[in-house]
Structure 1
Amino acid sequence: MIKFSILIANYNNGKYFRDCYNSLISQTYENWEVIIVDDASTDNSVEIIKSFIGKDPRFKLYYNTTNQGCGFTKRECMKYAEGEVCAYLDPDDALYPEAMERTVQEFLNENSIVAAYSQMMLCSEDLIPDKVFAGTKKFYNDRYFFNCPIQFAHFFTFKKEIYLKGSGINPMLTSAVDQDLYLKILEHGDVRYIKEPLYLYRLHSNGISQHSAKPKAKESFAKVIHDTMKRRGIKKINNQMVPETYTNSQEIYELLDYQTNKLHRLINKIKVTLNL
C-alpha cells in the first residue's frame, strides 16, 4: 500500500490549522503521514498545532530555529518525508476527504506517471466553498511549457523518487516555490489531470500568494522560468534568444507572449485532445 506524505510548511497560520487538521484525519485513505515544519512562527502556531496532533504518530513536527522563508522550509519538509507519494498542503487550506485516495488511484492505474494534480475550490476566509479555480486545466507537457498562463495549481502530488532525481526545491525562493517544483518534476515524465476539486483554497488577506505579494511572486516566477530554460538547455524560444543571465522579469515574460495568443492555445488544445 502506497504511503502518502502530506507536507506542511507553517508560518503564523496557527489560527487556521483546525480546518487543515480536521481534513487530514477525515481522509478515506489510511496509509499517510503529515510532516510539519514551523518556520519560527511569531504567533502561537506551535502551541495550536501541538494541541491538535497530540501524540498521534502520523504527525511529525519540526522547527526552524530562525525564520528561513518558504523555499527553505518546504525543502526541509522533504528531508523528513517517508512516503512514496508527496504533496504540499498549506496550513490555512484543507483537503476533501477523498483527496489522497483519489490521487493514489491515479498512480496505481498508471505506474509510469511522475505526478498527478486536481482542480481546487476557492473558498472564503471561513473555508466556505465558492467556485472552482478556472485556471487549472489539462495541458500538453513539453520542454517549452512554463505554466504561462497558469494551467494548474493545488492539489499537486508527486513521486518522492522523482523529486530526488533533481536539485529539489530552491531554498532561496520565498515565492513561486510551487511553480519551481512543478517544472522540475515534469521534466521526468507524464502527469495526470484529475478533473475534480480535491483541495480547498482559503482566500484571506494574509495569504502569501495574494494581493500585495503578487508583484514579488511575478518577479520570482520569471527567475524560475529563466532557471528552467537554462536547466533544459533552451537557447531560443519562439525564435528569440534566451538571455544568458537574468536581468528583469519583463524580458522573460516577453519571450512567453506567444503562449497567450489564440493560435498557440488552439494548437496546445489539439495536442491535449490527441494525447487523451
Structure 2
Amino acid sequence: MGNGAVSVGERLSVPLFTVVTPSYNQGRYIRDCIESVLQQTEVTWEHIVIDGGSTDDTIEILKQYPHLQWISEPDRGMSDAINKGFLRAKGRWVMWLNTDDYLLPGALKKVAEFAEAHPEADVIYGYSYFVDESKRILREKCEHKFDFLSLLFVGCYIQSTATFIKRDIIQAGHLLNIEFRYTMDYDYYMRLALAGYKFLYLPEPLACFRWHGDNLSILGGRSGARWKESCKVKEYALQQLGYAWLANPFIFKAMFYLFRPRRCLLRFRAHGRLL
C-alpha cells in the first residue's frame, strides 16, 4: 500500500487527512490520482471518490483499490460531488484532488508538520506544478502568503489541488456553492476569508495540476464563463464589505492591473522570484 508504518484499518478509523476526489469519465487519469495518495507515508489518511455515474472504465479501476471509499451516482456537477465527499470526511484536514491531478510524494507529511507547527491555521495551502498529459512539467506555480486584496482584485491564486481545510469548517456548514462550475474554489475561499478563517501559506510544492483540453479551467477561460463567475464572487465580497458601488466589471479589470504588481512582489518575497 506504500504506507508500511500505518495499517489500512488504522488509516480509515482515525485519519489525519481526508482526500476527496470528484470523478466523471476520467478513467485515463484516475489511477495516477489514486496511486499518488497511496504513496503518502508517515501520516494517516482516507481517500473518498465521488463518481457521477461514469460510463468509461472508471468504475472498473475503482474496484481494483479496496482501500477506497467510493460511490457512483448522478450528481449536479463537481461542486455537488465534492460536497458529498466533504460530508463523509473523517479527517482533521480535508482537501479535494481532482481525478486528473495528483499529489507529490511526501505532500501530506509536509502539511502535517506545518499544521503541527501552526495550530492557528484553518486553511493551509501550498503550490503546484502545472504538467501536461504526459506529466511533463510546464511551469512551477509558486505563490505567496495570504493577501486578501490580491484574492479580491487579482483572483484566486490559492490552488485547490494543494489546499487543506480543517474539517471543523465543513462541520460549521461551509460547503461549495453548486451554482459555480468554474470558480467554485474562488467562491469558497472568498467566503471563508470573509468569515474570518485564517489562511497560511506553506511554501512547498504539494501537487501537480494537469493541463489538458478537457480541463474545466481551460474550457471556462475559452468561453468567458470563468470571468463571469469570478465577477459574481467579487460582487458578493464587495457587498459584504459595504463597497457594492465598486461592483463593476470595468473596475474589476482596472483593479486587476493595479494590484497585479503587488502580487508579484509578494511572490518575490516568498520565493525570491516573480514566477
| TM class by smaller structure | 0.7 to 0.9
Q: What are the superposed Cα offsets for residues 6-61 of structure 1, whole Å, 9 maximum, x if unpaired?
A: 0100111111112111111111233100111001223221222222x1x22xx200
Please name the residue that 2:170 is paired with: 163
Q: Identity across aligned pairs (percent)?
A: 20
1:114 aligns with 2:122: yes
Matched, 1:152 2:158: yes
Task: Quote the Cα distance in structure 2 between the aligned partners of 1:5 and 1:139.
Answer: 23
Equivalent residue in structure 2 for 1:43, among 56, 80, 87? 56
Specify whether residues 263 and 98 from structure 1 end up closer, same or farther in structure 2 by C-alpha distance, changes over 3 A only. Answer: closer
Question: Take 1:184 and 1:23, find their aligned partners in 2: how far apart are those partners?
Answer: 30
Among 159, 164, 187, the residue aligned to 1:180: 187
Q: Distance in 2 between matches of 1:191 and 1:198?
A: 16
Quick one: which of 211, 217, 232 aligns to 2:226?
217
The CA distance in 2 between the partners of 1:165 and 1:89, in whole Å, is 22
| TM-score, scaled to structure 1 | 0.81
> After superposition, what is the alpha-carbon deviation per residue over 1:218-267, rounded to whole angstroms, capped at 9, x for unaligned?
2122222223334xx22217xxx155xxxxxxx34624632531697289
Question: CA 1:184/1:104 → structure 2, altered by over 3 Å: closer, same or farther?
Answer: farther
Structure 1 residues 185 and 149, CA gap change in structure 2 (3 angstroms) = closer
Tell whether 2:210 aligns with 1:197.
Answer: no
Compute the TM-score of the two structures, normalised by the length of structure 2: 0.81
| Matching residue's letter, 2:255 | Y
Inter-partner Cα distance in structure 2 for 1:263 and 1:185: 22
- Residue 174 (structure 1) shift: 1.7
Q: Aligned partners of 1:216, 1:258: CA distance in 2, in Å?
A: 20
Partners of 2:56 and 2:15 in 1: how far apart? 35
Name the residue aligned to 1:85: 93
Matched, 1:129 2:126: no
> Unpaired runs of 5+ in structure 1?
244-250
Give 1:206's match in structure 2, choosing from 214, 238, 243: 214
Q: 1 CA distance for matches of 2:266 and 2:213?
A: 35
With over 3 angstroms needed to count, the CA separation of the structure-2 counterparts of 1:33 and 1:223, relative to structure 1, is same
Deviation >3 Å, runs of 4+: 211-214, 266-270
Q: Kindly provide the amino acid, as one letter, of the partner of residue 235 in structure 1.
A: G
For 2:186 and 2:263, locate their aligned partners in 1 and report how far apart those are by CA, in whole Å. Answer: 23
CA distance in 1, matches of 2:42, 2:213: 32
SS, match of residue 43 in structure 2: coil
The CA distance in 1 between the partners of 2:185 and 2:120, in whole Å, is: 22
Counterpart Cα distance in 1 of 2:188 and 2:253: 19
Q: 1:177 to 1:149 in 2, by over 3 A?
A: closer
Could you tell me which of 31, 34, 55 is aligned with 1:18?
Answer: 31
What's the counterpart of residue 11 of structure 2? none
Please identify, of 192-201 and 144-153, the stretch whose mean Cα deviation from structure 2 is larger.
Answer: 144-153
Q: Which has the higher helix share?
A: 2
Q: CA deviation at 1:149?
A: 3.9
- The 1:252–1:42 alpha-carbon spacing in structure 2 relative to 1, beyond 3 Å, is farther
Structure 1 letter corresponding to 2:46: E
CA-based RMSD of the aligned residues comes to 2.7
Looking at structure 2, the residues matched to 133 and 267 of structure 1 have their Cα atoms a distance apart, in angstroms, of 12
Say if 1:71 and 1:174, in contact at 8 Å, map to a contact too.
yes
Distance 1:194 1:121 in 2: 15
Which residue, 248, 251, 255 being the options, matches 1:254? 251
Match of residue 8 from structure 1: 21
Distance 1:148 1:226 in 2: 14
